[in-house]
Amino acid sequence: MSTSDPLAQRNTWMRRILDRRRIPYAQALADRAFFTRGKFSVLWLLIMAWVFRVTVFVRRRPQGEFAEVDTFAAVQIIFVFLLATYLVFSNRLTPLLRLAAKTSFGVLMLYYGFGMISAVWSPSPAFSFYRAFEVVVLSLGILVALSFCRSFASTERGMLWVSLAIVLFQVNVQRPSIGMAFSFEAWKTNSYTAMSAMMFCYCIGEMLSHSNPLRQKFLRRMSLVFLVFIILGHSTGSIVAIICGLGVAFLLARHQRAAVFMLIAVLIIIGIAAGVDLQSLLLPGKSEDYDVTGMSGRTGLWATYLNQIMQYPLLGTGFDMLPRLVGFASNSHNSLLAVIGGTGLLGLVFIIIWIARLFKETLAAIHSRLAGSQGMAAGLTAGLVNSCTLAFLGEHCMTTTLVFATLAAFHMLFASRMAADSNSRILVMRWQKQTV
């Protein structure tokens, strides 16, 4: 079979990613076919069942009862442990963990592993352990699921379609409080807008790079869909994140003149459609009331959290315990405070190492001109900026956490892996020309 044959290159790539020294290639091919028809569907079913539980079957309960296991919580726990059981018996987990250990994704998983250890000193050990365990299981589930895609193009499409499905589920959370009447202000939120912002910036970043016309068309359509949800949610935090993400995409664009016009047009459309007040964007102070949905409310909440953090600076209060102990909200609305408050300065060390490695891997991927590198840089930037107002990193798993994990897993499978291996980078660059 000729090496220029796309099928041959695809199979060669499978040999590398599954580490043929430990898993026979014939077994890997059989495993691929079996998972595609059976277990692969079960994997996505378990992940989306978790999403369905936290978005459709939403229940409100008193802040002090956060650790009680009711019927809803029991169903959620069952889904997570079924997914964990699936991963344990999957032939793909071990080689993927071996790859992850060399990338920033592995460092992020180590942080959540430290979060599980924080159950030792947590006021609610079972709660802290489970919340960190849940993030690890779902993130690894996403990683294994994406590894079944047979090409860069199919992996990219899978990432965007799954993220869009999660966004649609999250929109359902907002619907019951609004009813049938449409109120633009009532849809204001930083939940599905944060997810949409990451994927929107990814699409724009890739549209500014050289790619196949069919891929450009797909990315353009997906970016418009995510833009609709950004405008619908019109969150200030997400708009700031988009500005930062698009700024990175602009700096990396090869055709900077076209990038300038696109950047200006997108920001004008978002600003006009969402009715953004420039003064409130630059000088936050939306409300004099203590409302955690506004920046003024969040700053007051953060001050309270800082007082709690100073009592346990080294190890923290236990993973995801900071907002529970304070009692004002179920989210600290700032990932930095969430990390320090839950796992202390030791946990912060993991996050600093993760960000440093993520930055290094992204720069290497951009320098190698790998497909997806510009979009990943823009999307990850938007996600990290948005985490300063919505703590989807360092606390319990949210739908936004899952979308960020999807982008991080995609980054691990391509950018960081290829940037570290010159031989595989040459292979994938050739492969991408025929599959993108």
> Tell me, what's the pLDDT at 22?
45
The pLDDT confidence band at residue 246, using thresholds 50, 70 and 90, is: confident
d(CA 62, CA 64): 5
Q: Report the range out of 24-38, 239-253, 349-363 with the highest average pLDDT.
A: 349-363
C-alpha distance from residue 310 to each of 175, 302, 316 (Å): 39, 12, 9
Q: What is the pLDDT of residue 368?
A: 79
Which carries the bigger pLDDT value, residue 353 or residue 22? 353
Write out pLDDT tens, residues 194-223.
899 999 999 998 888 766 788 888 999 999
pLDDT in tens, 148-195: 887 888 888 889 999 999 999 988 776 655 555 556 666 777 778 989
Provide the Cα torsion 393, 300, 346, 121; round to 10°.
Answer: -90
Judge whether residue 425 has pLDDT over 80: no
Q: How far apart (Å, rounded) are the C-alpha atoms in residues 109 and 97?
A: 10
The answer to whether 16 and 424 are in contact (CB under 8 A) is: yes
Q: DSSP state, 20? A: T
Q: Which residues contact 257 (CB under 8 A, 6 or more apart)?
A: none
Average pLDDT over residues 248-263: 67
For 166, residues 6+ apart whose C-beta sits below 8 A from its C-beta are 51, 195, 399, 402, 403
Residue 31 has pLDDT above 60, yes or no: no
pLDDT > 70 in the chain, percent: 67
Structure tokens at 288: 């004099």
381 pLDDT higher than 80: yes
The answer, yes or no, to whether residue 303 has pLDDT greater than 80, is no
| Residues 428, 418: Cα–Cα separation, whole Å | 8
| pLDDT at residue 424 tops 60 | no
Q: Other CB atoms closer than 10 Å to residue 185's CB: what's the count?
A: 7
Structure tokens, 227: 């833009």
| pLDDT score for 222 | 93
pLDDT for 255: 59
Give the count of alpha carbons within 13 A of 74, CB side only: 3
Q: What is the mean pLDDT of residues 121-148?
A: 91
Q: Per residue in 142-153, is it b (16+ CB within 10 Å) or e — as a string?
A: bbbbbbbbbbbb
Residue 436 has pLDDT above 50, yes or no: no
What's the pLDDT band for 26 if we cut at 50, 70, 90? very low
* Contact assessment for residue 321 and residue 394, using Cβ atoms and an 8 Å cutoff: no
The predicted pLDDT at position 235 comes to 81
- Looking at residue 254, the DSSP 8-state letter turns out to be S
Taking only the tens place, the pLDDT of each residue in 75-130 is 889 999 999 999 998 888 888 898 888 889 999 999 999 999 999 998 889 989 99
CB 342 within 8 A of CB 318: yes
pTM to 2 decimal places: 0.78
In contact, 202 and 375? CB cutoff 8 Å: yes
Burial class (CB in 10 A: 0-12, 13-18, 19+), 110: middle
For the residues 131-149, what does the mean pLDDT come to? 92
Average pLDDT for 142-148: 89
Q: Which of 267-271, 388-392, 393-397 has the lowest mean pLDDT?
A: 267-271
At residue 66, the pLDDT reads 64
Write down the pLDDT at residue 267: 61
pLDDT level of residue 404 (50, 70, 90 thresholds): very high
Q: CB under 8 Å to 317, separation ≥6 — which residues?
A: 122, 123, 308, 325, 341, 342
Residue closest to 63 by CA, chosen among 290, 321, 297 = 321
3-state secondary structure of 289: coil
Greater pLDDT, 294 or 399: 399
Per-residue confidence (pLDDT) for residue 315, from 0 to 100: 87
Higher pLDDT, 152 or 263: 152
Cite the DSSP H helix spans in 187-334.
192-207, 213-233, 236-252, 256-274, 278-282, 295-309, 322-326
> What distance in Å separates the CA atoms of residue 280 and residue 330, rounded to the nearest whole number?
25
What does each C-alpha distance from 390 to 59, 196, 384 come to in angstroms?
20, 14, 10
Q: What is the pLDDT of residues 44-59, one digit of tens each?
A: 889 999 999 888 877 6
Question: What residue type is assigned to position 173 of the chain?
Answer: V
Q: What is the structure's pLDDT at 48? A: 92
- The pLDDT assigned to 329 comes to 59
**Cβ contact 405:142 at 8 Å:** yes
Residue 271 binned pLDDT confidence (cut-offs 50, 70, 90): low
CA torsion angle 180 185 190 191 (round to 10)? 0
> Cα separation of 432 and 316, whole Å?
45
CA-atom Rg of the chain in angstroms: 21
Instruction: Specify whether the CB–CB gap between 63 and 331 falls below 8 A.
Output: no
Q: What is the pLDDT of residues 275-295, one digit of tens each?
A: 544 444 433 444 434 444 444
Burial label for 412, CB within 10 Å (0-12, 13-18, 19+), is: buried
Torsion angle of alpha carbons 301, 307, 309, 311, nearest 10°? -160
